[in-house]
Structure 1
Amino acid sequence: MPRLTRAEQREETRRRLIEAAGRVFGRLGFEAAPIDVIAEEAGFSRGAFYSNFESKDELFIELVQSHFEAEIETLGRALARIARAEDLAKAVERRYRILGEDSSWCLLTTEFQLYAMRGGRMAGRFAELYEKYRSDLGELIGTHFDRLGIRSSLTPYEFGAAQIALSHGLALQRAANSALDTTLPARALATFVRGALEPREG
C-alpha cells in the first residue's frame, strides 16, 4: 500500500478527529467534552489536535457542516424514490424513525445553538451554516414539490424550517421522557406533512 502524502496524512488526521469528536460530544455534550479526550479517542495527542484545529468550536463547526451535508444528501435520495405525492408522508416517516432511537445529535446541536446565541465563539459561522441547511432543505423540498405536483400552504423554506423544528423538538421530548414511544418523532412528522399539503384537485 503506497504511503500517504503529507496532505493526505493531515486530511486523515482531521477526519479521525472529527469522527472522534462526534462520539465524545454525543456522550458528554459539547461544553463538557475535553479536548484531551477527543484527541485520545482519535488516537492522537493534544498537540495533534491543535495542529489541525484552533479550538473545540472550530472542530464542532466542521462536524456540523459534514452532518448537515450528509442529512441533505440522505433525504434527497429518499425523496427521489417517491413516485407519487401521496407517498411523501410515508417516506418522511421512514426517514425520521432514527430520531426516535438516537436523540444525541439533536441534543448536541441544540446545546451548541444556545451556546452560540449567548455569545459563544464562532456564533456567526454556526448561524451561517444553519441558515444554509434551512435553505438547502427548502430548495430540496421545492424541487420535489414541483416534480410531484404538490401544493402546500407553506413555502418550501417554511416547510423545511418547520420540519427541522418538529424533528428536533420531538427528539428532545423523547430524551426528556423515555416513556414516549420511539416512533413518535416519525409519526408526528408524517402527520405534519399530511396536514401541510393542500388537497390535489380532481
Structure 2
Amino acid sequence: MARLTRAESQARTREQLVSTAKELFLAEGYWATSLEKVADAAGYSKGAVYSNFRNKDELCLAVLDAIHAEQAERIVRAMAGKETLAERLDGLEKWAEETIGDQSWTALEVEFATNVRRDERLRAELADRDATIRGMLTDLIRENLTEFGVELPVPAEDVSAAVLSLGIGLGVQRAIDPSIPVRVLTDTMRIALGLPVR
C-alpha cells in the first residue's frame, strides 16, 4: 500500500478529529468537550488539533458543516425517486420525523449559536453558513416548483427562510416535547402549495 502524502495524512487527521468531535459534542455538549478530550479520543496530541483548527469554535464550525452536509444528503435521498410533489413532501416528512428535534443536534446548534453571539467574526461565519443552507433550500424549492409548474405569490428565497425558521423552531420545541408532530411543518408547506392536508 502506498504511503500517504503529507496533505493526505493531514486531511485524514482532520477528518478523524471532526468525526470524534462530532461524537463528543453531540454526546456531552459543546461546553463540556475540551480540545484535549477530542485529541485523546481521536488518538492524537493536542498539537494535532491545533495544527488543523485555531480553536474549539473553528472545530465546532467544521462539525456543524459535516452535520449539515449529512442532513442535506438525507433530505435529497428522502425526496428522490418520488414522482409527485405530494410524494416528495411525504418523503420530506419522513426525514423530518426522524430528524427534527434530535436533542443532541438541537442542543449543539443552540449552545454554539449562544456562544458566538458576542463574537462578530464567528457570528459572520455562522451567518454565511446559514445563508448557504438557505441557498441550497431555495434551489431545491425552485427546482420542484419549476418541475411541477407551481407558482407561489412570494419569492423562493422567502419560502426558504420561512421553512428553515419553522424547522428550527420546531426542532427546539420537539427537543423539549417529542410528541409535537412534524406535520406542522409539512402541512404548512402543503397549504402553501395548494395540496391537500393529510
Specify the TM-score bucket, using the shorter chain as the normaliser.
Answer: 0.7 to 0.9
CA distance in 1: counterparts of 2:83 and 2:24, whole angstroms: 40
Structure 1 residue 70, shift from structure 2 partner: 3.1
The yes-or-no answer on 1:190 pairing with 2:180 is: no
C-alpha deviations, 1:150-196, integer Å up to 9, x for none?
A: 3334432222222222222222222223xx42x723x2222122122
Stretches of structure 2 that go unaligned for 5 or more consecutive residues are none
Matched AA of 1:194: R
Partner of 1:44: 44
Structure 1 residue 149, shift from structure 2 partner: 2.0
Conservation of the 8 A alpha-carbon contact between 2:86 and 2:195: no
* CA RMSD, 1 decimal: 2.3
Matched AA of 1:38: V
SS at match of 1:96: helix
What aligned pairs does 1:79-98 form with structure 2 within 5 A after superposition? 79-98=79-98
What aligned pairs does 1:28-43 form with structure 2 within 5 A after superposition? 28-43=28-43
The yes-or-no answer on 1:151 pairing with 2:151 is: yes
Partner of 1:54: 54
Structure 1 residue 101, shift from structure 2 partner: 6.8
Structure 1 residue 133, shift from structure 2 partner: 1.0
SS at match of 1:73: helix
CA distance in 2: counterparts of 1:154 and 1:110, whole angstroms: 29
Structure 1 residue 41, shift from structure 2 partner: 1.8
Matched AA of 1:184: P
More RCO (CA 8 Å, sep 6+)? 1
Conservation of the 8 A alpha-carbon contact between 2:79 and 2:89: no
Conservation of the 8 A alpha-carbon contact between 2:150 and 2:193: yes
C-alpha deviations, 1:40-86, integer Å up to 9, x for none?
A: 22121212111211111111222222332333333233334221122
Stretches of structure 1 that go unaligned for 5 or more consecutive residues are none
Partner of 1:131: 131
Q: Which moved more, 1:153-162 or 1:187-196?
A: 153-162
Matched AA of 2:114: L
CA distance in 2: counterparts of 1:90 and 1:26, whole angstroms: 28
C-alpha deviations, 1:99-157, integer Å up to 9, x for none?
A: 25733222212222232233265221111111111112111211111112233344322
CA distance in 1: counterparts of 2:75 and 2:12, whole angstroms: 27
Conservation of the 8 A alpha-carbon contact between 1:25 and 1:33: yes
Matched AA of 1:79: M
